[in-house]
Chains A and B, each alone.
Chain A
Amino acid sequence: GAVVSQHPSWVICKSGTSVKIECRSLDFQATTMFWYRQFPKQSLMLMATSNEGSKATYEQGVEKDKFLINHASLTLSTLTVTSAHPEDSSFYICSASSGRGLANEQFFGPGTRLTVL
């Protein structure tokens, strides 16, 4: 149980185009989903937190107009990188939480590697 998937697993796009990444909780309802970004040899950096049906909360320094997050259902969140540029090339990881239990555990997806040419 507690499986989170991401699609696509990797994507290459031209500079200036937009890319959408999907995050799905396959066997549980995710009241909250999180998006992280990870550059090579660095740690995961939290970008934003999204609750189903409401606007995402972005971490300081993350441009909300560039990284559009939609969490329209309890099993799906999407991250759209708008007008992507080479510096947006990174490993994007989502996680999901059902909000249940004392530990309020998060389950991570396998990540999406974005390369912007």
Chain B
Amino acid sequence: DAKTTQPPSMDCAEGRAANLPCNHSTISGNEYVYWYRQIHSQGPQYIIHGLKNNETNEMASLIITEDRKSSTLILPHATLRDTAVYYCIVRAITGNQFYFGTGTSLTVIP
């Protein structure tokens, strides 16, 4: 079962930062936070993951609160191509399965 809660939808102006929140209040000490996104009718695409430190890559930044009960995915300069459903998933380090929650449908507006 999914252990995350995300807002169902968000809008963001093109060129602005998109901040997508995720609540994972029951996360365990050995569980990572992963973010994937799914553009309509395609397979999910990996974005970023983290354990407890903030992470940044070429796509996004991941900010994890000190108590690890929530996190925020930041797309620094959203483009129209970032319109997608964004999924936040928690999973144990040695785990296999991903259980997807309902995700956040992000719409980037021109």
Q: Chain A: residues with CB nearer than 8 A to chain B? A: 4, 6, 32, 34, 36, 43-46, 49, 91, 93, 95, 97, 102-111, 113
A-B pairs with beta carbons under 8 Å apart, 9 shown: A34-B97, A43-B2, A44-B44, A46-B100, A49-B97, A104-B91, A104-B95, A108-B36, A110-B42
| A34 to B49 CA separation, bound complex (whole angstroms) | 19
| A105 to B43 CA separation, bound complex (whole angstroms) | 15
Pair B100/A109 contact, Cβ less than 8 Å: no
Partner of B41, one of A46, A107, A111: A111
The 9 closest A-B pairs by CB, nearest first: A108-B43, A44-B100, A43-B100, A108-B44, A110-B43, A111-B43, A109-B43, A93-B43, A43-B102
Contact with A along B81-109 (1 / 0, CB 8 A): 00000010001011111111111000000
Pair B99/A46 contact, Cβ less than 8 Å: yes
Which chain B residues (23-47) contact chain A, with CB distance < 8 Å? 32, 34, 36, 38, 41-46
A77 CB to nearest chain B CB (Å): 14
- Residues on the A chain within 8 Å of B42, using CB: 110-111
Q: Count of chain B residues with Cβ under 8 Å from any Cβ of A? A: 25
In this complex, what residue of A is CB-closest to B91? Answer: A104
| A109 to B38 CA separation, bound complex (whole angstroms) | 11
Pair B41/A113 contact, Cβ less than 8 Å: yes
Pair A49/B43 contact, Cβ less than 8 Å: no
Partner of A107, one of B46, B94, B95, B100: B46
| A49 to B103 CA separation, bound complex (whole angstroms) | 22
B50 CB to nearest chain A CB (Å): 9
In this complex, what residue of B is CB-closest to A51? Answer: B96
Pair A103/B97 contact, Cβ less than 8 Å: no
| A102 to B46 CA separation, bound complex (whole angstroms) | 15
In this complex, what residue of A is CB-closest to B49? Answer: A103
